Structure 1
C-alpha cells in the first residue's frame, strides 16, 4: 500500500468548541476577515471565497481548557500574498492585539489569540525556491518580522482574500515521538523539521501541514473547550482507501461515514480525513 500522503493533500476545516458563539464569530469576521457562511443558534461556519474554513460550535456547558490539556496551539490561515498580510496586520492592530510576529524564512507570520484563548496565525508563504533546505528538509527559524515594512504593503482590504485557506494546524501534544509515529509513520506525512521540542510534518514538500510541540508541558487529552477536530483533505477515493488500510494495519480505530474517516491521535485529538471537493 502507499506509505506517503499524496502531495496534493491539504488541511480542510477546523472546528472549535466555544462558550460565547457570537463574540468568537465576530472576532473571526472582523479581525481574521472571514465571511459568515451559515449559522444556527449553536453553530457558525466561516470561510473565504465560499469555502468553509472554520466551524464554531457553542458549548457553554464545557469548562475552559485546562492548563495541562493537549489540543490546539494555533490555527494558521494562509494568505496569498504580502499585501493581504499587511491588511491582516491593520485589522489586528485596529481591533485586537498581536502576541507575536516572526519571519520563519519560509513564511512571514502574525500571531494572536481569539477571545477564548485559541491561538491564531495569519501568514503568507515566501516563494518555494527561497525556502532554505538541507538534506531534503526545510530549515525554518524564528526571526524578527519588520512590521513597519509590512504596514506599507497593506492594500486597504477589510476582508480576507478568497484564496485564503487553512495552511496548517499546530497542535500541543504530550509526546513528540508518539505524535510523530502517528502523523508520520501511520498517516504518511513527511517529517520536514524537528527541533527544540517540536516537529513539523507535511504532505509532499510543503514546509508543514501539521505542527507538533511539547513546549507547555501538556499531559492529558482535552475535555474542555477548544479544538473539536480538524480535517485532512486527500485527492480521491483511492487515497482515502489507502489511509483506511494504514490505520487498520497500525490498529488505529476508524469511524467511517459519508463525511470520510474519523480517527484520534495518541492525545485524543480528532482528525477527519475526507476526499477534497
Structure 2
C-alpha cells in the first residue's frame, strides 16, 4: 500500500551541545524566530503552531567524526519561492557565511552546517512541470552550479528579514547502514515510493505523491555503520505527518504484519527504522 499523496514532514528534533550558541545561529544566520524556550530546549518556527526545529542541549554532547555513523546528513528547509532564496543568499554574504550550493534541476539549494555540524539545506523548488524523469521513472537530478547572478536578480540586496511564512521542512537526508534494507522498510512497511535510485552515487530518494523526495538515504558513511548514539549531537527524531486516522491504522497494520516494533502514545506513533533512526508519526 502506498502512503497518502498528501503526506508531509513535520518538525525535526536536534541534539546540540550549547543552546545559547545554537539559538544565536538559527536566529541570526538562518532566520528562525524562537517561539518557545524552556530548560534545555528551544522551539523554532516561522508561524504559530507546530515548530519546524526543536533544539535540545545534551550535557557533555560528543561530536562524532564526519561520516562515521548512521544518522542525519541534512535537514532541508524549503522556502516558498526563489526570491526568498535570493534574499537569504544576500544575507549569507553579508554575514560572511561559507556555504555550498547546487542546482539539482528540480530545485536550487544552499548548504551549510550548524555549530554542531548538523547539516542544513535551504532550497526552493522549481515548478513540477520542469521536473523530468528518466526511462526508469527516476527524477533526473544533478549537482550543477547555480547561476548565482541570475538568482540574485530575484531579490534586493538588503531585503532579508528572516525566513518567510510558508517555509517548511521539505525533506530529511540520512546516512544509513544498508540501502536495500532501508528502501524495503520505507517502501513495504511505511509506504513511500522510490523516486530516485541513484546507484552511481549510492543513494536512494523516496517520497509521497511523487515529490522529488521527502526522504534521502545514502551509504556515504560506509555500509553497516552503527547508529549515532544518543550521547552525541545529531538528530533525535524526525516527524511524518499522516493525513488522517485511517492512514495511521493502516500503518499500524503494516507494522504488525512486518513484526516491526512500534510505540503508541495517543495519536502519536514512534518507530525506529533499520538504521536506528526514530520516526515520529502524527
Q: TM-score range by the shorter chain?
A: over 0.9
- 1:232 is the counterpart of 2:222: no
Q: Which residue of 1 aligns with 2:75?
A: 75
Distance 1:265 1:30 in 2: 34
The structure whose residues are more often strand, as a share, is 1
Give the deviation of 1:96 after TM superposition.
5.4
- 1:142 is the counterpart of 2:143: yes
Which sits farther off after the overlay, 41-50 or 213-222?
213-222
- Deviation string 1:6-56 (CA, Å, 9 cap, x unpaired) is 000011000001111111122111222111110012010001122410000
- Deviation string 1:102-126 (CA, Å, 9 cap, x unpaired) is 1111000000011110000000000
Partner SS, residue 260 of structure 2: coil
Which stretches in structure 2 are left out of the alignment for 5+ residues?
none
Q: Which residue of 2 aligns with 1:32?
A: 30
Normalising by the residue count of structure 2, what TM-score does the alignment of the two structures yield?
0.93
Match of 1:213 among 200, 214, 218: 218
Give the deviation of 1:258 after TM superposition.
2.3
Distance 2:194 2:33 in 1: 33
Match of 1:271 among 268, 276, 279: 279
Answer whether contact 1:138 1:193 (CA < 8 A) is retained: yes
Pair 1:96–1:181, CA change in 2 (3 A): farther
Partner SS, residue 149 of structure 1: helix
| Equivalent residues in 2 for 1:1-277, closer than 5 Å | 3-50=1-48, 51-67=50-66, 68-95=68-95, 97-135=97-135, 136-155=137-156, 156-195=159-198, 196-217=201-222, 219-223=225-229, 224-274=232-282
Pair 1:96–1:217, CA change in 2 (3 A): farther
- The alignment covers a number of residue pairs equal to 272
Q: Let me know the Cα RMSD of the aligned residues.
A: 1.4
Normalising by the residue count of structure 1, what TM-score does the alignment of the two structures yield?
0.94
